[in-house]
């Protein structure tokens, strides 16, 4: 016998009883709100704990704050503009009342008519007027024209919103809001003052072989080699843009072009003229718009002369330009990898690095491969303070001129000191002070760091510890030229008996003069010795392994060395002495792995 459970009899009543009552919609709304807030909390938990680092979150929040400030400023300025318009209306009313009062003061009323006495008006002297007394006008305020102020305030607000996030990011990441410049004003461990000075010099002079400012217009428009790019011969007609001064829009375009041209002398490369050219081009067209055919002719002529196959006929041989239109690549008939392989120098090297090195690898490079196509961290030899220091460390492994073969010895009467410092007292010529190693001795031998030492230096205090690390390939350097005043200071944390201090320096430091000073626990600084005995050690020193050890300390696992670098031969011939082996070679660049 089969038993069939018949549930149909209970379904109807149950469903009827479960129908929502009058207060059901609020409960549904609350459940939906809790669901949305729960999703938001889980999303924020994912963002804050898994997705991004703390630094990334701060940068994202700063940019969102900037966007929010932009929206709020627009809303506020809209209301402010309305207030300015209202103030303008009120000022016009006040001015109207004053004018009416002046007219009324020189008029007489006769038989329901107002008569103005022109003789009284003509008798007014310069600066005189009819109207209320000055005391009654003292409380009146005439605001600035709101139609002029509101756009300026809006421009300033929008500009601030665009600029502030970058300044904030630079302040957080490299401790300098205007990096890579003004590093004297904002000292930081990421960009050397010497790099900034060299960069400024290069951007102004050596990067562009211009003999005279009169060459710049021709190079911008036609030549292209010296300024690394060209705009086209039509831009030789830019003086005709002055004809646009007849039009209000033309005056605005030329004013904008002038503003963007102000920083151009700091770097005269063609690419830095583009912001100005963006306003000069429409100003030129507007200037010749009186002749209807000329603007169309200029546009067509510029398009014809700018076609890649036509540019070659008039530009310099080595001008930066497109040699042909990449139609196949644009239409995806040629793959991205194939196109970049024969068009972008270093692309094959970047891809090979991806294959030969594991994720997270840190590579020191003597050239700049296209890092956009490589997910590894590549430290190019000049692009940061750390890269410059590691470059000099490697060079010290093979170049005797960068090895600490010069020794300065300060012998003093044994004394109990808590701190000592070495102060640069002068130099035969302006140079960059540096100390490779400082050795401190007492009557019983070496004074060792027991972990309580605190070291400082100036300028550039962040590398002060390198003068006490026992590695002759590293050194503290001021990273800026000084005539005097540089120093290295060590606080022992307790009194130590000191009798000898030795400085190991490189040959380029022979022009520097140093003085040894000491400090007792309760006292101030006092000079201990102003003269040092000078000696030299045998050269060259075998420092290759020391250099590699410093690379390891900074997480470097690979070296990228082009054949054009002067260390390439030594790396190739002395791999065992360096402690490296060849991992790959792409064209004229070798990839070495540190063992």
* Selection from 45-54, 91-100, 462-471 with the highest mean pLDDT: 462-471
In a domain, 5, yes or no: no
Are 530 and 554 part of one and the same domain?
no
Task: Please report, to the nearest 10 degrees, the dihedral formed by the alpha carbons of residues 294, 298, 300, 301 taken in order.
Answer: 130
Instruction: Rank 121-125, 323-327, 565-569 by mean pLDDT and report only the highest.
Output: 565-569
Residues 392/192, Cβ–Cβ less than 8 Å? no
pLDDT given at position 410: 93
Position 81 confidence tier, pLDDT thresholds 50, 70, 90:
low
Is the per-residue pLDDT at 74 higher than 90?
Answer: no
Domain boundary among 311, 339, 369: 311
Residue 379 main-chain phi, psi, to 5 deg: -95, 100
Q: Is 195 a member of any domain? A: no
| Beta pairing, strands 454-458 & 487-505 | antiparallel
- pLDDT, greater one: 118 or 256: 256
Q: Is the pLDDT of residue 465 over 80?
A: yes
Cβ atoms 342, 319 nearer than 8 A:
no
- What residue numbers bound the domain in which 391 lies? 359-395+543-594
Our measurement of the distance from residue 105's CA atom to the centroid of its chain's CA atoms, rounded to an integer in Å, reads: 66
Residue 22: inside a domain? no
One domain, residues 383 and 255: no
Domain end marker among 311, 335, 351: 311
Higher pLDDT, 50 or 35: 35
Cβ atoms of 561 and 550 closer than 8 Å: no
pLDDT at 321: 85
pLDDT category, 124, cuts 50, 70, 90?
low
Whether 303 is in a domain gets the answer yes
Q: What pLDDT was estimated at residue 267?
A: 83
pLDDT higher than 70, residue 19: no
In this structure, are residues 182 and 176 in contact, taking their beta carbons and an 8 Å threshold? Answer: yes
- The rounded radius of gyration (Å) of the Cα atoms in the chain is 38
Q: Mark whether 130 and 225 lie in a shared domain.
A: no
- Are 31 and 167 contained in the same domain? yes
Q: What pLDDT band is residue 94 in, cutting at 50, 70 and 90?
A: confident
Per the DSSP assignment, residues forming a β-bridge with 584 are 591
Distance CA 432, CA 512 (A): 9
Residue 496 has pLDDT above 50, yes or no: yes
pLDDT for the residue 98 = 73
Answer whether residue 566 is part of any domain. Answer: yes
Q: Answer with the one of 130, 152, 174 that is the final residue of a domain.
A: 174
The chain-wide mean pLDDT, for the chain, equals 82
Task: Output the six-digit token pair for 402.
Answer: 């960068």
Predicted confidence (pLDDT) at residue 279 exceeds the cutoff of 60: yes
In this structure, are 247 and 156 located in the same domain?
no
CA distance linking residue 18 with residue 16, whole number of Å? 5
- Same-domain pairing of 505 and 552: no
pLDDT (mean) for 162-190: 89
Nearest to 148 by CA among 235, 108, 88: 88
- β pairing state of 437-442 and 362-365: unpaired
Helix or strand holding residue 97 (H, E)? helix 54-105
Tell me if 498 sits within 8 A of 420, measured CB to CB. Answer: yes
134-137 CB contacts, 8 Å cutoff, 24+ apart: 137/98
Ramachandran category for residue 112: left, alpha or beta (phi over 0 → left; psi -120 to 50 → alpha): left
Residues 96 and 229 in one domain: no
- DSSP at 439: E
Which of the two residues, 53 and 219, has the higher pLDDT score? 219
What's the pLDDT tens digit per position in 287-331?
Answer: 998 888 999 999 999 999 999 889 988 999 888 888 888 888 888
Domain check: are 49 and 143 in the same one? yes
- Residue 590: the pLDDT is 94
Place of tokens 């005995």: 533
Flag whether 8 is in a domain: no
Q: Are 459 and 518 in a shared domain?
A: yes
What's the average model confidence in pLDDT over 459-480? 94
Length of the chain: 595
The model's confidence at residue 406, banded by pLDDT at 50, 70 and 90, is very high
Look at residue 338 and tell me if it is in a domain. Answer: no
Torsion sign (Cα): 274, 278, 284, 287: negative
Residue 1 has pLDDT above 60, yes or no: no
- Of 3 and 558, the one with more pLDDT: 558
Measured distance CA(592)–CA(581) in Å, rounded:
5
The percentage of the chain sitting over the pLDDT mark of 70, rounded to a whole number, equals 78
Question: Which stretches of 63-185 are assigned E, i.e. beta strand?
Answer: 107-110, 113-116
Half-sphere exposure at residue 361, Cβ-oriented, CA atoms within 13 angstroms:
21
Instruction: Tell which wins on pLDDT, 89 or 555.
Output: 555
pLDDT band at residue 428 using 50, 70 and 90 as cut-offs: confident
Here the tokens at position 49 are 């704990």
pLDDT at 6 exceeding the cut of 50: no
Query: For residue 479, which of 370, 545, 385 has the smallest C-alpha distance?
Result: 385
What's the pLDDT tens digit per position in 435-452? 999 999 998 889 888 888
Q: Does a structural domain hold residue 179?
A: no
pLDDT at 558: 96
Same domain for 387 and 271, yes or no, is no
Confidence (pLDDT) at 120? 60
Taking residues 325-350, what's their average pLDDT?
88
Q: How many CB atoms lie under 10 A from the CB of residue 230?
A: 24
DSSP letters for 428-476: SS-B--EESEEEEEETTEE----S--EEEEES-GGGGGGGGSS-TT--E
Query: Residue 4: pLDDT band by 50, 70, 90 thresholds?
Result: very low
Examine the domain organization and report whether 387 and 290 are in the same domain: no
Specify the number of domains making up the chain: 4
> Are 391 and 420 part of one and the same domain?
no
């Amino acid at each position: 016998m089969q038993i069939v459970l018949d549930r149909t009899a209970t379904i109807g009543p149950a469903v009827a009883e479960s129908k929502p009552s009058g207060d059901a919609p609020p409960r549904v709304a609350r459940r939906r709100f809790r669901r949305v807030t729960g999703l938001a909390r889980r999303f924020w938990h994912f963002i804050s704990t898994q997705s991004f680092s703390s630094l990334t979150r701060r940068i994202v929040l700063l940019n969102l704050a900037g966007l929010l400030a932009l929206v709020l400023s627009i809303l506020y300025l809209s209301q402010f503009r309305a207030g300015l318009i209202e103030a303008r209306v009120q000022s016009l009313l006040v001015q109207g009342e004053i004018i009416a009062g002046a007219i009324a003061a020189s008029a007489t009323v006769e038989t329901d008519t107002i008569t103005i006495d022109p003789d009284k008006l003509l008798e007014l002297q310069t600066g005189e007027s009819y109207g209320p007394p000055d005391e009654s006008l003292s409380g009146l305020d005439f605001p600035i024209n709101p139609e002029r102020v509101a756009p300026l305030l809006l421009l300033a607000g929008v500009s601030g919103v665009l600029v502030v996030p970058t300044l904030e990011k630079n302040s957080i990441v490299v401790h300098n809001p205007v990096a890579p410049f003004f590093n004297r004003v904002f000292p930081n461990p990421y960009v050397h003052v010497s790099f900034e000075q060299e960069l400024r010099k290069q951007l102004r002079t050596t990067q562009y072989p211009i003999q005279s400012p009169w060459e710049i217009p021709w190079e911008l428009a036609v030549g292209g080699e010296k300024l690394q790019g060209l705009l086209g011969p039509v831009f030789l007609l830019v003086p005709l843009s002055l004809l646009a001064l007849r039009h209000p829009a033309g005056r605005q375009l030329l004013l904008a072009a002038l503003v963007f041209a102000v920083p151009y002398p700091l770097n005269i490369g063609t690419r830095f003229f583009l912001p100005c050219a963006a306003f000069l081009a429409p100003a030129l067209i507007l200037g010749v718009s009186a002749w209807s055919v000329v603007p169309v002719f200029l546009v067509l002529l510029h398009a014809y002369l700018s076609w890649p196959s036509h540019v070659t006929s008039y530009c310099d041989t080595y001008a930066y330009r497109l040699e042909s239109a990449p139609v196949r690549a644009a239409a995806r008939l040629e793959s991205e990898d194939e196109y970049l392989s024969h068009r972008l120098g270093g692309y094959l090297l970047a891809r090979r690095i991806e294959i030969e090195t594991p994720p997270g690898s840190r590579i020191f490079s003597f050239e700049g491969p296209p890092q956009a196509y490589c997910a590894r961290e590549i430290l190019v030899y000049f692009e940061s303070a750390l890269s410059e220091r590691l470059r000099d460390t490697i060079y010290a492994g093979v170049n005797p001129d960068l090895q600490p073969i010069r020794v300065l010895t300060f012998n003093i009467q044994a004394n109990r000191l808590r701190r000592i410092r070495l102060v640069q007292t002068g130099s035969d010529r302006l140079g960059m002070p540096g100390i490779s190693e400082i050795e401190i001795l007492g009557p019983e031998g070496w004074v060792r760091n027991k972990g309580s030492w605190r070291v400082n230096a100036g300028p550039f205090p962040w590398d002060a510890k390198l003068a006490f690390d026992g590695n002759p390939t590293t050194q503290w350097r001021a990273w800026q030229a000084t005539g005097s005043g540089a120093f290295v200071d060590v606080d022992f944390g307790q009194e130590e008996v000191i009798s000898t201090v030795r400085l190991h320096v490189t040959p380029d430091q022979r022009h520097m003069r140093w003085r040894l000073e000491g400090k007792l626990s309760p006292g101030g600084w006092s000079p201990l010795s102003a003269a040092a005995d000078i000696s030299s050690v045998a050269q060259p020193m075998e420092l290759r392994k020391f250099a590699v050890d410093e690379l390891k300390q900074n997480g470097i696992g690979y070296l990228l060395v082009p054949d054009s670098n002067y260390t390439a031969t030594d790396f190739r011939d002395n791999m065992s002495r360096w402690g490296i082996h060849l991992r790959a070679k792409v064209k004229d660049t070798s990839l070495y792995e540190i063992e």
